[in-house]
């Protein structure tokens, strides 16, 4: 019986706590709102202006990218974009530089990411020609032959570059050929 009484007491106590919490909650919310309205609006304007000023002042590092012309030539001549496991570290090693430096080049000079650049090369140099020459290939085969690891990545990259799905592009190509 003693155990039952203590369980009932805890239940009543916890219920009272929950009820008190919900009764006090609107008061706490009102205090927070009042505190918010006591902060002068220009404070937020200053904070936003400072944030925007910091973002606008970000300038690209002044670097001499000695590999600039070599990068494009190596990727094109060796058809590195067809390698599904191509990574920025491998490319940096071929250019005798480091991946951070190469990543800066992609971001600040080419205004793209490494993967977006490689995917664009895959689509322009491999996918579209394959679709034109062998219009009976399935998307999986086109993706694999173009260096993509998955059809999902292929579809996403194709749509990002062309604004249409690979399927709709192939369908239109077939209609033009017939």
Going from N- to C-terminal start, the domains of the chain cover: 69-177
Average pLDDT over residues 58-77: 80
Q: How many CB atoms lie within 10 A of CB 118?
A: 24
pLDDT at residue 66, as a whole number: 87
Q: Is the pLDDT of residue 126 over 70?
A: yes
Q: 69-177 has which CATH code?
A: 1.10.10.60
Q: Residue 78: which of 97, 61, 91, 92 has the closest Cα?
A: 91
pLDDT above 90 for 177: no
């Amino acid at each position: 019986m003693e155990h039952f009484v203590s369980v009932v007491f805890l239940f009543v106590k916890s219920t009272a706590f929950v009820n008190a919490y919900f009764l006090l909650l609107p008061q706490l919310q009102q205090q927070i709102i009042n505190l918010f309205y006591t902060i002068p609006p220009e404070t937020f304007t200053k904070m936003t202006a400072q944030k925007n000023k910091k973002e606008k002042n970000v300038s690209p590092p002044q670097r001499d990218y000695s590999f600039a012309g070599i990068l494009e030539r190596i990727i094109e001549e060796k058809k590195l974009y067809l390698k599904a496991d191509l990574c920025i570290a491998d490319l940096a090693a071929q250019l005798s530089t480091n991946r951070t430096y190469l990543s800066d080049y992609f971001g600040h000079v080419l205004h793209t990411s490494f993967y977006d650049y490689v995917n664009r090369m895959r689509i322009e140099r491999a996918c579209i020609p394959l679709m034109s020459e062998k219009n009976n290939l399935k998307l999986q085969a086109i993706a694999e032959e173009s260096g993509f690891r998955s059809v999902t990545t292929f579809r996403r990259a194709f749509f990002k570059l062309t604004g249409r799905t690979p399927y709709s592009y192939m369908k239109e190509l077939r209609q033009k050929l017939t």
